[in-house]
């Protein structure tokens, strides 16, 4: 039985606890341990990333004709959802205790959604407290409920799912069920998917991007998949952070969906990522990070549990942040791509049509095991809108909104390669270092590249600058970094063919289609 979305049972209910109380309970319940930096260290067990094959959307009158049904947006019946939700409720009622907390998502008064999070673990409640917005709004007509029961296992044959885990979104009942997985990132990405479905109808472009704003008030956006640099590059000690992962772009500007950050920890160092390093202190959670058994120091280079080691911390841990959690219209938009072929330039200026092309393509590399079953290697991917797993509607919906924003506001879009140069991955190439990429981003957000001198990169037809402060000019043209020009041409043609083949599935104008690579 539930009352206002909250389960009632004989179990003890911990409601809306403070972070210190949640940490104390997590330690007392053996849910984790404290590292030397005082962050809470937890393990997510076998699933150390999202489970995309276990994600479903209830197919009903709201979603039938609006969701882009495919292997990512998998349908499930309302009856199957209701039966599984009831079983999960019964399961959590048998626990000695569970946790209930109220939050919200979307830092905009027009679009804020209240969210009740119910989970059986103190640390997962702390995760939600860190990642969601802690200001509570009272709006029953928009109220969502997340029920997370990691220890409850689904039965594929009985429940109509694919494994013992399931993540199910129900837009009619405004509920999200997460069972069979301890990976807390499922909660954050589930609410991201909800907003990605709802906001386009309100003329807001939902984005898988980071955002920050300069002291001059100019906003910059950083699109990209996990591991390509969103969190690292947006955590700039000279700019105010808005957020590191999820934002909306509407007629009035940019706003954060969240109240915290979820950073990758692998190979974290104070030299390369000082802002993130300092944010990992009391109140933060570190997932699957190995710590020294004696000193309790985190060993960030240790990927024995997963490449996808993570840290969740509130925005308050970032000294330089935009207090309002929103900002004005962006002046610079950066598409972060991790090119394994070593043939894309470290930076290129895009036209509006090229912006639509590369936004729909979402070319990059999968770096680290962000998803279950992905493995530990690095491989090429085309992830539409730089976040295909989280966008329920057809891709053109989001591309059209991007074009509309670019037509209405003077934002310049750049393609920034954080991948390889001088050769392909595993074939003698080397990855651009963080100082080089930071110098390029600094030139973008400072406006230096708006009026720079550009030359054309043949085949890709990309405008590349001939000079960027603090960057070796030879690195700006990828052809100059290859010793063997024949091999460079072969790799460039292979990548161009991959672009063309992937883009053939989109029904767009000739102007956008022709803005991509052209093989002569």
* Cβ contact 281:20 at 8 Å: no
231 included as an active-site residue: yes
189 included as an active-site residue: yes
Half-sphere exposure of 517 (CA within 13 A, CB side): 21
230 included as an active-site residue: yes
The count of other CB atoms within 10 Å of the CB of residue 520 is 6
Q: Return the H-helix or E-strand segment holding 512.
A: helix 510-513
59 included as an active-site residue: no
331 included as an active-site residue: no
Q: From the candidates 47, 50, 175, 331, which is the catalytic residue?
A: 50
Question: How is 57-118 classified by DSSP, letter by letter?
Answer: EE-STTTTTTS--SSSSEEE-HHHHHHHHHHHHHHHHTSSEEEEEEEEE-SSTTT-EEEEEE
Among residues 221, 8, 210, 204, the alpha carbon closest in space to that of 113 is found at 204
Distance CA 144, CA 116 (A): 6
Q: From the candidates 231, 332, 384, 436, which is the catalytic residue?
A: 231
Q: From the candidates 125, 181, 226, 418, which is the catalytic residue?
A: 226
Half-sphere exposure of 32 (CA within 13 A, CB side): 31
Q: Is 400 exposed, middle or buried (0-12, 13-18, 19+ CB in 10 A)?
A: middle
Q: From the candidates 175, 188, 264, 310, which is the catalytic residue?
A: 310
Residue with tokens 């007392």: 28
Q: From the candidates 119, 245, 317, 491, which is the catalytic residue?
A: 245
Q: From the candidates 230, 247, 349, 393, which is the catalytic residue?
A: 230
50 included as an active-site residue: yes
Q: Return the H-helix or E-strand segment holding 413.
A: strand 412-417
Catalytic residues: 50, 189, 208, 226, 230-231, 245, 310
């Amino acid at each position: 039985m539930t009352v206002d979305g909250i389960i009632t049972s004989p179990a003890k209910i911990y409601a809306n606890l403070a972070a210190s109380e949640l940490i104390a309970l997590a330690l007392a319940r053996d849910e984790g341990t404290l590292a030397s930096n005082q962050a809470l260290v937890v393990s997510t067990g076998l699933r150390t990333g999202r489970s995309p094959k276990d994600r479903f959307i209830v197919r009903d009158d709201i979603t039938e004709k609006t969701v882009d049904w495919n292997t990512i947006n998998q349908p499930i019946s309302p009856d199957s959802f209701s039966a599984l939700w009831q079983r999960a409720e019964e399961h959590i009622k048998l626990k000695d205790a569970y946790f209930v907390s109220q939050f919200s998502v979307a830092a905009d008064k027009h679009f804020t959604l209240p969210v009740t999070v119910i989970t059986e673990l103190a640390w997962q409640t702390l995760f939600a407290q860190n990642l969601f917005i802690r200001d509570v709004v009272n709006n029953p007509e928009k109220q969502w409920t997340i029920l997370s029961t990691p220890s409850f296992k689904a039965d594929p044959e009985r429940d109509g799912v694919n494994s013992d885990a399931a993540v199910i979104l129900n837009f009619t009942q405004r509920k999200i069920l997460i069972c069979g997985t301890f990976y807390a990132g499922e909660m954050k990405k589930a609410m991201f998917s909800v907003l990605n479905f709802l906001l386009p109808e309100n003329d807001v472009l939902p984005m898988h991007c980071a955002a920050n704003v300069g002291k001059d008030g100019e906003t910059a956006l950083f699109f990209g998949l996990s591991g390509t640099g969103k969190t690292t590059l947006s955590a700039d000690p000279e700019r105010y952070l808005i957020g590191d992962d999820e934002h909306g772009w509407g007629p009035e500007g940019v706003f954060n969906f969240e109240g915290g950050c979820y950073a990758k920890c692998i190979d974290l160092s104070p030299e390369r990522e000082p802002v993130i390093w300092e944010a990992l202190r009391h109140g933060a959670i570190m997932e699957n990070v190995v710590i020294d058994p004696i000193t309790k120091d985190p060993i960030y280079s240790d990927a024995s549990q997963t490449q996808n080691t993570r840290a969740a911390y509130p925005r308050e841990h970032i000294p330089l942040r935009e207090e309002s959690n929103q900002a004005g219209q962006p002046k610079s938009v950066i598409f972060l791509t991790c090119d394994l072929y070593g043939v894309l330039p470290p930076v290129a200026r895009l036209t509006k049509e090229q912006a639509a092309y590369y936004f729909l393509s979402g070319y990059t590399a999968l770096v680290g095991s962000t998803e279950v079953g992905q493995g530990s290697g690095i491989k090429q991917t085309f992830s539409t809108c730089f976040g295909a797993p989280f966008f329920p509607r057809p891709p053109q919906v989001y591309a059209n909104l991007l074009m509309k924003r670019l037509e209405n506001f003077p934002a310049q879009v750049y393609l920034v390669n954080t991948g390889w140069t001088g050769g392909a991955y595993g074939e003698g190439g080397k990855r651009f270092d963080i100082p080089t990429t930071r110098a390029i981003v600094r030139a973008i957000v400072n406006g230096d590249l708006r009026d720079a001198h550009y030359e054309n990169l043949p085949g890709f037809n990309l405008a590349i600058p001939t000079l960027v402060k603090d960057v070796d000019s030879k690195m700006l043209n990828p052809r100059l970094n290859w010793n063997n020009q024949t091999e460079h041409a072969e790799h460039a043609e292979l990548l161009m063919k991959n672009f063309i083949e992937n883009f053939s599935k989109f029904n767009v104008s000739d102007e956008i289609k022709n803005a991509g690579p052209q093989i002569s």
